[in-house]
A and B are shown apart, each in its own frame.
Chain A
Amino acid sequence: MFDKDLRTMIDDVKDGRMNRRAFVQRMIAVGLTAPMANQILSIGGVAMAQSPNPYKPTKRGGGGPLKLLWWQGPTLLNPHFATGTKDQDGSRLFYEPLASWDADGHLNPILAAEIPSIQNGGLSKDAKTVVWKLKPGVKWHDGKPLTADDLVFNWEYAIDPATAAVSGGTYADMTVEKVDDLTIRITFKQPTPFWANAFVGAYGCIIPKHLFAEYKGSKSREAPNNLKPVGTGPYKFVEFKPGDLVRGEINPDYHMANRPYFDTLEMKGGGDAVSAARAVIQTGEYDFAWNIQVEDEVLLRLEKGGKGKTLYAVGGDIEFIALNFTDPNVEVDGERSSMKTKHPILSDARVRKALALLVDRESIKKVIYGRAGRTTANYLNGPEEFVSKNTKWEFSIEKASALLDEAGWKVGGDGVREKDGKKLKLLYQTSINGPRQKTQAIVKQACQKAGIDVELKSVVASVFFSSDVANPDTYSKFYADIEMFQIPMTQPDPALHMRRYHSREVATKENKWQGRNFPRWVNKDFDAAVDAADTETDPLKRADLYVKSNDLMWQDTVVIPVMHRAAVEACSNSLRPALSGWANQTDNLQDWYRES
């Protein structure tokens, strides 16, 4: 790329010859955007700019109640056990991480005194250690001080298999040690370019050692504080009824000036997304509702009422159709979709390309997702620096038909193509969910026109996404020809998102279908690119590797991206929430206020 120029520019910024803004603008000019430019500066040795959320109140409290409506209420309040986002959101009301992601994908310090960088000595050049400094004077809600011991304890707690914490993966492959009372050092086993995972974001929330030390390991579920959180957050715990209600009150000793704004906090659970949207947008009973997966048409109608509006936070969540590279109808050694087989139809790249041409993304956006979706050709859609510009998509039944003709699939008497006496018939499965069934219908219609007979199948979400080894209908077993669902991107880094398609991740009977590569696609170049990116410390080279791996997936048509989805929230007109597509909705709760 323009490696040398860039180094000079970074030096210019360091020495003050060029200001940050100019640097970021130059970067944008060459096709990168703000978050990337900032990441470059960060590893290049410049402290990362913090883009604080706009916050107007000049004193703490006085904002009255904040009423949140989560149509699936939190069922537990320990961040290390938070199975779903609802639990993470609930825990995050009281517990805090060292830093959270803001709307631009920047780190925003919460409990940290500053964001580690090479310049401040927080990051090592080999990307193997991170030193975090805690903000002095932070107190737990019970008055005890927050120290480095708490952080070390959280790491020990999470990695102890007997604790059965879901955060275990976040803290694996590293050691955390105390440097002094307010400093910790994280040492990674391998160079880790994406160092901001442990102690950051949803799974990074820190629980107090003095209340949980006795309950590490197999006694973890007996801890009384699993249900009565004592954190450091802007709101103190009052009451919790699983699935129904979480209540909090202002923390008068909160460690950030003038924050929080609201005096009390209520998170109500239950019901469904449409009526949640109604309670916020139409009747104004609540201030904010989460995850409004409702057709855009309905939302537009509700918004005419005028008490609230919808907000969109763009991250990297992708709804896509995956193609099976193995044969789901042949059993080898008691295993369908076995790696020893090849898909009789889809192993032909021309058929896969034809299928991609038959997904009318524009109509799907128009009819189903509306403002909450963006059409894309890429599997990897963010942050901006990792997004490939080399790919394109189109919808064309003619081109698809031509490709199928070329592949030897001729139109038969009944309008369905056939080859060697075999019909071109595909089973298309997904989970039960309104938009997904509509998408299935749109794709099926186009396929029919091109002479492909598509059989639709929908599986209840709790089965489709289960890890139940005995169930044939899970997405990871993939006993269908094509399947569709959404994979969320939980952090502004593609490492976990892309590693899934590595050949060692293939889901097989041997690993009880726990492997995450469910299309069972194997490509040596892809493996090499992802492996190299895992330890590549140069941010530009690393971004190139991920762009390359995305392009490989596109060339091979491993998946057909349907929609790049944004998170949709309903919000009252006066509330000013701080949201980010890279974080949970409550991650920057301390910055929420109401415009009077």
Chain B
Amino acid sequence: MSQYILRRLMIAIPSLLGISLVLFVVLALAPGDPFGELATNPNVPPEVQAALRAKFGLDDPIYLRYLHWLAAMAQGDWGFSFVSRMDVDTLILQRLPTTLYVIGSAQLLALLIAIPVGVYAATRPYSIFDQIANTFAFIGFSLPTFFTGILFILIFSVKLDWLPFVYSTDIKATGIAWALEMVRQAIMPVMVLGLFQAASMTRFVRSAMLDVIRLDYVTTARAKGLGQAKVIVKHVMRNAMIPVVTLIALQMPAVFGGAIVTEQIFRIPGIGSLLISSILANDTPVVMAVTFVFACLVVLFNLIADVLYGWLDPRISFR
């Protein structure tokens, strides 16, 4: 087992190097300039802009810039933001808690809805409950988050005036009041993201359950006289969850990566909004760090998913 994990980690290194190279080259080839905003400002002579480019090494050849970046990354230096003139890791760590809180809650909400609804719908396929659940699931994943987000804002903030639509990281309260306000402002973004996720996940859980529920061993379990609840939870769900675990494990990096559109709509200062503003400002070091960390997380969670398979189904062996 530990040998297996070690081997997988070793294999990950060349693929991460490859990913970083591709990312870096694509970003370097992408047009744009972090100091573009200076261009139309008559107060700033063009030489200043040129000096800035030279200072931040933007005029060096690509391979040299990549090697610099790689050497720094190997030493744990994530780079230095052109735009904020501060270390990229500080910038990312500042954004991480908010992202984890909002996106994590949304994922949790999605799971809490999807698993019970999916399982229950699968036990009674084509019943009224199943039909309704299916209809909502279709509506849910047909509506993009930028639409539901704005719809929620119009209904709950503008018309009803119940919830704030600007997410604030600085709530002037302590204790219970602080916690309540944190929950209150997260309701809309969490709902928007959570319901969107839940919709597709419900469909997934349902079909995974249906695949298993018709198998012979389930009939055997029922024939043994086991109760419905026990059959479903112990016999069907455990086996049906294997593909669901993969799906969730692959979703996990997104919890760290943030949700670009939703974060922008609700002004949530998460990783997603950092990524998009850095892309727009051509702040390559930040974009590079965020996407690379994201790539690492994907590799890591793939590994975790593989390990979890073994736990869920001991027949899968690690070789």
- On chain A, the residues within 8 Å of B32 by CB distance are 460, 462-463, 466, 468, 471
**A83 contacts which of B37, B161, B166 (Cβ < 8 Å)?**
B37
Stretch of A263-271, A351-359, A552-560 that contacts chain B: A263-271
- Do residues B84 and A242 form an inter-chain contact, with CB atoms below 8 A? yes
- Do residues A84 and B37 form an inter-chain contact, with CB atoms below 8 A? yes
- Do residues A203 and B43 form an inter-chain contact, with CB atoms below 8 A? yes
- Do residues A282 and B85 form an inter-chain contact, with CB atoms below 8 A? no
Q: Take A76-B83, A83-B37, A476-B39 as given contacts and tell me if A285 and B165 are in contact as well, using a CB distance cutoff of 8 Å.
A: yes
- Do residues A227 and B86 form an inter-chain contact, with CB atoms below 8 A? yes
- Do residues B86 and A226 form an inter-chain contact, with CB atoms below 8 A? yes
Q: Take A268-B166, A282-B158, A283-B165 as given contacts and tell me if A169 and B84 are in contact as well, using a CB distance cutoff of 8 Å.
A: no
- Do residues B273 and A243 form an inter-chain contact, with CB atoms below 8 A? yes
- On chain A, the residues within 8 Å of B45 by CB distance are 168-169, 172
- Do residues A221 and B31 form an inter-chain contact, with CB atoms below 8 A? no
| Chain B nearest CB, measured from A432 CB (Å) | 11
How far is A467 from B86 in the complex, measured between Cα atoms in Å? 23
Stretch of B123-131, B264-272, B305-313 that contacts chain A: B264-272
How far is A168 from B36 in the complex, measured between Cα atoms in Å? 17
| Chain A nearest CB, measured from B161 CB (Å) | 7
Q: Take A283-B158, A462-B32, A462-B281 as given contacts and tell me if A243 and B84 are in contact as well, using a CB distance cutoff of 8 Å.
A: yes
**A487 contacts which of B40, B55, B273 (Cβ < 8 Å)?**
B40
**A285 contacts which of B46, B166, B263 (Cβ < 8 Å)?**
B166
Q: Take A169-B44, A244-B169 as given contacts and tell me if A81 and B85 are in contact as well, using a CB distance cutoff of 8 Å.
A: yes
- On chain A, the residues within 8 Å of B158 by CB distance are 278, 282-283
- Do residues B153 and A275 form an inter-chain contact, with CB atoms below 8 A? yes
Question: What residue in chain B is nearest A490 (Cβ atoms)?
Answer: B43
Q: Is B52 an interface residue (CB 8 A)?
A: yes
- Do residues B169 and A465 form an inter-chain contact, with CB atoms below 8 A? no
How far is A463 from B153 in the complex, measured between Cα atoms in Å? 33
Q: Take A242-B86, A283-B158, A512-B50 as given contacts and tell me if A491 and B43 are in contact as well, using a CB distance cutoff of 8 Å.
A: yes
How far is A514 from B94 in the complex, measured between Cα atoms in Å? 37
- On chain B, the residues within 8 Å of A221 by CB distance are 80, 85
- On chain B, the residues within 8 Å of A65 by CB distance are 172
How far is A76 from B33 in the complex, measured between Cα atoms in Å? 17
Q: Take A467-B39, A485-B40, A514-B46 as given contacts and tell me if A462 and B282 are in contact as well, using a CB distance cutoff of 8 Å.
A: yes
Q: Is B235 an interface residue (CB 8 A)?
A: no
- On chain B, the residues within 8 Å of A170 by CB distance are 43
Q: Take A242-B86, A496-B42 as given contacts and tell me if A272 and B264 are in contact as well, using a CB distance cutoff of 8 Å.
A: yes
- Do residues B31 and A241 form an inter-chain contact, with CB atoms below 8 A? no
Which residues of A from 292 to 343 have beta carbons under 8 Å from B?
none
Question: What residue in chain B is nearest A72 (Cβ atoms)?
Answer: B277
Question: What residue in chain B is nearest A226 (Cβ atoms)?
Answer: B85
| Chain A nearest CB, measured from B63 CB (Å) | 16
- On chain B, the residues within 8 Å of A466 by CB distance are 31-33, 35-36, 39, 282
Q: Is A442 an interface residue (CB 8 A)?
A: no
How far is A243 from B24 in the complex, measured between Cα atoms in Å? 24
- Do residues B273 and A514 form an inter-chain contact, with CB atoms below 8 A? no
- Chain A: interface size category: 35 or more
- Do residues B51 and A161 form an inter-chain contact, with CB atoms below 8 A? yes
- Do residues A488 and B40 form an inter-chain contact, with CB atoms below 8 A? yes
Question: What residue in chain A is nearest B91 (Cβ atoms)?
Answer: A242
| Chain B nearest CB, measured from A100 CB (Å) | 15
Q: Is B233 an interface residue (CB 8 A)?
A: no
How far is A462 from B32 in the complex, measured between Cα atoms in Å? 5
Main secondary structure of the interface of A (DSSP, over half): loop
- On chain A, the residues within 8 Å of B47 by CB distance are 514
Q: Is A478 an interface residue (CB 8 A)?
A: no
- On chain A, the residues within 8 Å of B36 by CB distance are 461-467
- On chain B, the residues within 8 Å of A491 by CB distance are 43
Among B43, B85, B274, find the residue whose CB has the most chain A CB atoms closer than 10 A: B85
Q: Is A75 an interface residue (CB 8 A)?
A: yes
Q: Is B316 an interface residue (CB 8 A)?
A: no
Question: What residue in chain A is nearest B58 (Cβ atoms)?
Answer: A468
Which residues of B from 244 to 281 have beta carbons under 8 Å from A?
263-269, 273-274, 277, 280-281
Q: Is A166 an interface residue (CB 8 A)?
A: yes
**B39 contacts which of A81, A247, A270, A465 (Cβ < 8 Å)?**
A465
- Chain B: interface size category: 35 or more
How far is A415 from B301 in the complex, measured between Cα atoms in Å? 62
Q: Is A12 an interface residue (CB 8 A)?
A: no
- Do residues A76 and B85 form an inter-chain contact, with CB atoms below 8 A? yes
How far is A283 from B156 in the complex, measured between Cα atoms in Å? 11
- Do residues B40 and A243 form an inter-chain contact, with CB atoms below 8 A? no
How far is A278 from B265 in the complex, measured between Cα atoms in Å? 12
Q: Is A475 an interface residue (CB 8 A)?
A: yes
| Chain B nearest CB, measured from A499 CB (Å) | 8
Question: What residue in chain B is nearest A472 (Cβ atoms)?
Answer: B31
- Do residues A467 and B33 form an inter-chain contact, with CB atoms below 8 A? yes
Q: Is B222 an interface residue (CB 8 A)?
A: no
- On chain A, the residues within 8 Å of B85 by CB distance are 76, 78, 81, 221, 226
- Do residues A241 and B269 form an inter-chain contact, with CB atoms below 8 A? yes
Give per-residue flags for A440-469: 1 if the beta carbon is below 8 A from chain B beta carbons, else 0.
Answer: 000000000000000000001111111110
How far is A553 from B185 in the complex, measured between Cα atoms in Å? 54
- On chain A, the residues within 8 Å of B38 by CB distance are 83, 166, 467
| Chain A nearest CB, measured from B43 CB (Å) | 5
Q: Is B302 an interface residue (CB 8 A)?
A: no
| Chain B nearest CB, measured from A554 CB (Å) | 20
Q: Is B200 an interface residue (CB 8 A)?
A: no
Question: What residue in chain B is nearest A499 (Cβ atoms)?
Answer: B42
Give per-residue flags for B52-79: 1 if the beta carbon is below 8 A from chain A beta carbons, else 0.
Answer: 1101000000000000000000000000
- Do residues B267 and A164 form an inter-chain contact, with CB atoms below 8 A? no
Q: Is B170 an interface residue (CB 8 A)?
A: yes
- On chain B, the residues within 8 Å of A242 by CB distance are 81, 83-84, 86, 91, 94
| Chain B nearest CB, measured from A276 CB (Å) | 9
- On chain B, the residues within 8 Å of A83 by CB distance are 34-35, 37-38, 83
Q: Is B179 an interface residue (CB 8 A)?
A: no
Question: What residue in chain A is nearest B98 (Cβ atoms)?
Answer: A244
- On chain B, the residues within 8 Å of A75 by CB distance are 81, 83-84, 281
- Do residues A467 and B264 form an inter-chain contact, with CB atoms below 8 A? no
Q: Take A221-B85, A514-B46 as given contacts and tell me if A270 and B40 are in contact as well, using a CB distance cutoff of 8 Å.
A: no
- On chain A, the residues within 8 Å of B33 by CB distance are 462, 465-468
- On chain A, the residues within 8 Å of B84 by CB distance are 75-76, 242-243
How far is A364 from B158 in the complex, measured between Cα atoms in Å? 31
Chain B residues within 8 Å of A, Cβ to Cβ: 31-53, 55, 80-81, 83-86, 91, 94-95, 153, 157-158, 161, 164-166, 168-170, 172, 263-269, 273-274, 277, 280-282
Would you mind naming 11 contact pairs between A and B with Cβ atoms under 8 Å apart?
A72-B277, A161-B51, A164-B52, A243-B269, A244-B169, A247-B170, A266-B170, A270-B273, A278-B153, A285-B165, A462-B36
Extra inter-chain contacts (14) besides given A169-B45, A270-B269, CB under 8 Å: A169-B44, A221-B85, A241-B94, A243-B84, A244-B94, A245-B168, A271-B266, A285-B166, A464-B36, A466-B31, A467-B39, A467-B53, A471-B32, A487-B40
- Which 9 residue pairs spanning A and B have beta carbons closest together? A466-B33, A514-B46, A244-B269, A496-B42, A270-B267, A466-B36, A465-B36, A169-B45, A242-B84
